[in-house]
């Protein structure tokens, strides 16, 4: 597939996603189901990569789709694709959940005696769930590793280090528009790679 064909396909997907959001704004439940089918796997992979917890990643995806449903009417295509909006919501909520988890662990460590076994590492998940989460995290890491280095660096800084696009531009000494374009292209490639595999 040529770059022009890939770009055309990405534009068509983005246009279809925007139409689904507009239909959701009108209260069409089948549009929500269609968008869920298109987005849920890559969004889950994003949340899982950040949180390393399958149940929490599922919660985040559920919350994101509720937000998409409630706020579909305010979506503006000129500000970015529907998929980018969904990924940004997922990333932000996952990072918030991670920070909240760390704060809870710090409070427990400060207030609970160590012999009660309340350290963060003892939260416990089933062996099957842990193995599945590890497999999916490996798939995400492998997909990210296939990206061109400039896109890979920008995405890792944005989604796994929690930096804003402005902070990434400053760190990499690149124009903000360049960073936004790299992240957008990288997200599109990840979506195409991950959707059939997760």
Quick check: 28 pLDDT over 80? Answer: yes
- Which residue, chain included where needed, has tokens 């994003």? 46
Quick check: 112 pLDDT over 50? Answer: no
Domain total for the chain?
1
Q: Report the C-alpha gap between 188 and 197 in whole angstroms.
A: 15
Q: Tell me: the pLDDT tens digits for 142-173?
A: 888 888 999 888 888 877 776 788 888 888 99
How much is the pLDDT for 117?
Answer: 41
CATH number of the structural domain spanning residue 165: 1.10.1740.10
CB 85, CB 187: distance < 8 Å: no
- Give the predicted TM-score (pTM) of the model: 0.57
- Structure token digits, residue 100: 């909240």
- CA-to-CA dists, residue 126 to 31, 46, 135, 138, angstroms: 35, 21, 14, 18
- What average pLDDT is seen over the chain? 81
Domain that holds residue 18: 3-194
């Amino acid at each position: 597939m040529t770059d022009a064909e890939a770009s055309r396909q990405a534009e068509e997907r983005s246009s279809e996603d925007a139409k689904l959001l507009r239909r959701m704004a009108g209260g069409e439940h089948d549009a929500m189901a269609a968008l869920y089918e298109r987005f849920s796997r890559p969004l889950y992979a994003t949340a899982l990569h950040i949180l390393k917890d399958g149940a929490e990643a599922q919660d985040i995806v559920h919350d994101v789709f509720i937000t998409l449903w409630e706020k579909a009417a305010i979506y503006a295509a000129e500000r970015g694709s529907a998929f980018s909006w969904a990924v940004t919501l997922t990333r932000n909520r996952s990072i918030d959940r991670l920070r909240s988890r760390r704060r809870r662990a710090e409070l427990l460590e400060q207030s609970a005696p160590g012999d009660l076994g309340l350290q963060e590492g003892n939260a416990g998940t089933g062996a099957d769930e842990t193995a599945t989460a590890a497999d999916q995290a490996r798939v995400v890491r492998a997909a990210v590793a296939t990206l061109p280095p400039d896109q890979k660096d920008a995405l890792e800084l944005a989604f796994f280090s929690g930096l804003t696009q402005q902070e990434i531009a400053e760190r990499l000494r690149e124009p903000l528009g360049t960073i936004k374009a790299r992240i957008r292209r990288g997200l599109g490639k990840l979506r195409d790679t991950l959707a059939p595999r997760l």
